[in-house]
Amino acid sequence: MRKLAAGAKTGSKPAECIPGNCPAKNGKNEENNNQAATYISECPMRQGEAGEPKDYINPLNMMPQPNQRPQPDQPFSLPTDRAKSTIPKADGKDGETWEYPSPQMFWNAMIRKGWRWQEASLEPKDMMDIIRIHNANNEQAWREVLKWEALHYSECRCPKLRKFGGKATDYSPRASMRYWLGYDLPFDRHDWIVDRCGKDVRYVIDYYDGGPVNPQNSEFTLLDVRPAMDSFENIWDRMRVAYWRWKLEWFNIAPKPHKLAEPPQVSDAATSSS
């Protein structure tokens, strides 16, 4: 015991928690022990790292640590598999993309935000449909971001998503102005930080109800995606695109394609000598 206490004072690695038993408690019966062994431990203490507080929020996605454990009163089991997106992860390994939450993680997130399943007659299929719609919305949003990023293709050919966060009740000035003009408010808002080859660019995404879900691609949301007006470069991009849209709508004049920088060509001499 003295050695353990001394090690703690000198900053040695904390003892690794037993999977499924953090905080450490003795199981009251065999069923509890088996359930704890089935699901991934959410112990905040990890080998070689300091413990994270119980209410730790990941700054990359503004979400708590992944929770794959079923709720005590959950009416049915849900898959814990996570699908990979096509959205490159800025702080990940080369070629790494963001992962979508599993149906179980999505359920736990809704419970944490105050949703009560007893008030809705949900079935497992409904949760799978919700996940498909959620993932389709994010893929659609990323495609819209890439359209804006095409304006800077010569500067950065592979933008990546660094972090994001939801601001459902923090309406953007554009959404508020539309509401004053008689339009509906968006049902959700996200702010995405895109890594443009070393430069962070913030995008604002407003999600509007677009009617019935498209059975072909699970899309039903109308997205308003644009760079935030927090830099001169973003303001200039929005002014250019607004002007192009005005010319296309009123005069049917499409913008000229940008002349993109091409990779250097290998000379014939170098090719013949290889």
What is the DSSP code string of 93-157? STT-EEEPPPHHHHHHHHHHTT--GGGS---HHHHHHHHHHHHHHHHHHHHHHHHHHGGGTTT-S
pLDDT tens, residue by residue, 95-145: 999 999 999 998 888 888 777 766 667 888 888 988 998 999 999 999 999
Q: How many Å apart are CA 53 and CA 2, to the nearest integer?
A: 26
Has residue 170 been placed in a domain?
yes
Q: How many Å apart are CA 195 and CA 236, to the nearest integer?
A: 19
Has residue 262 been placed in a domain?
no
- pLDDT value at residue 142: 96
Has residue 110 been placed in a domain?
yes
- pLDDT value at residue 211: 83
Angle made by CA atoms 29, 34, 35, in degrees to the nearest 5 = 100
Largest CA distance in the chain: 83
What pTM, to 2 d.p., does this model score? 0.69
Note down the domain range covering 97.
Answer: 66-251
Q: How many Å apart are CA 192 and CA 203, to the nearest integer?
A: 5
- pLDDT value at residue 149: 96
Has residue 273 been placed in a domain?
no
Q: How far is CA 76 from CA 36, 67, 86, 196, in A?
A: 18, 16, 30, 43
Has residue 22 been placed in a domain?
no
User: Is the four-CA dihedral 237, 243, 247, 253 of positive or negative sign?
Assistant: negative
- pLDDT value at residue 258: 60
Q: How many Å apart are CA 238 and CA 92, to the nearest integer?
A: 30
Adjacent-strand bridge partners of 97: 88
Regions in the chain scoring below 70 on pLDDT: 1-66, 117-120, 258-274
- pLDDT value at residue 75: 86
Contacts 24+ apart (CB under 8 A), 49-58: 50/14, 51/14
Is 230 in contact with 199 (CB distance < 8 Å)? no
For residue 138, the one-letter residue type is N
Has residue 24 been placed in a domain?
no
Looking at the structure of the chain, the number of domains it has is 1
Is 85 in contact with 135 (CB distance < 8 Å)? yes
Residues 6+ apart with CB under 8 A from 226: 148, 174, 203, 204, 238
Helix (H, G, I), strand (E, B) or coil at 38: helix
Has residue 12 been placed in a domain?
no
